[in-house]
Amino acid sequence: MSFQNQSSVLHKFKGILFSTMSSEELLNSLDFFSAREDDVFLVSYPKSGTHWIAEVIGNIPNARMSLTSPIELGDISKFDELKMNSKRRVIPTHLSYNMLPVNIKQKQCKIIYIIRNPKDTAVSLFHYYRDNPNLPGIETWAAFFELFLRGDVVYGSWFDHVLSWEEHKNDKNILIIFYEEMKKDPSKSIKKITTFLGINVNDSEINKIAQKTSFSEMKNNAAKENCDPNHTICALTSNRNLVFRKGAVGDWINYFTSKQRRVFDELFTEKMKHSELARHFEDNS
């Protein structure tokens, strides 16, 4: 699929594909965004678990935090909308590190970056393309696989995105959370998050948050609260039913042919050869 076929719903900004729901004017103005010292940013490549972390934070008792819609969603009025928010803001985004507003870096705002196995991410994004009217129509997994490999998808290459954040993995204001670890031991990841945010939460409260943010719970709640604009965490849709599909780990095996797996693994090895974060996926790839 050529870019021309996608151009009704996507546009290119600095060489990267964005949804037309993120206006060029807003993307051009990101460096005028005024961050606050206590802002928290939830960052990930699409389909990596941003909603999950948002739900976790939303369930922390007495956190007094307010979840906003993504910083890159909408037009230039976004900044006024964010300014009106008087509570501690939790702001989601799928931006790479390089595109993040400069003020966030200057003020060293807290940032939680979520990473998911790229093969599962690719499959999840494929379904998102198929189900979401704000993304280009795509016929087959094979066609999407090629686009994903080339980084010709919304928010660009998974590899470039992760590497842009990896350069800052030791910054004290950045916490990296692995989707798979969160699946395996939610309470442990939730404890990491609350500690990082400086919020005291006891073990029984942490277990309660883990129960409330299990995948099946979130999926049920999404159906109930669908299309609540205050719950828009993805810059690609406000339809929450589209967001929670399977949430599985390892589902990629049902999609990748052995050839696709080989091609992907070669690219992964080449692109991520200096990446410490990538080692995390070598066991389950």
User: What stretches of 7-96 show up as alpha helix (H) in DSSP?
Assistant: 24-28, 50-58, 78-83
Integer Cα distance of 227 and 235 in angstroms: 13
Residues annotated as catalytic (active site), given as ranges: 94
8-state DSSP, 156: -
* Residue 159: Cβ within 10 Å count: 19
Report how far apart, in Å, the C-alpha atoms of 152 and of each of 15, 26, 156, 255 are.
10, 21, 6, 19
Integer Cα distance of 114 and 109 in angstroms: 16
User: What stretches of 133-238 show up as alpha helix (H) in DSSP?
Assistant: 141-150, 158-166, 179-184, 186-196, 203-212, 215-224
Integer Cα distance of 109 and 116 in angstroms: 23
Tell me the one-letter amino acid at 273: K
Tell me the one-letter amino acid at 272: M
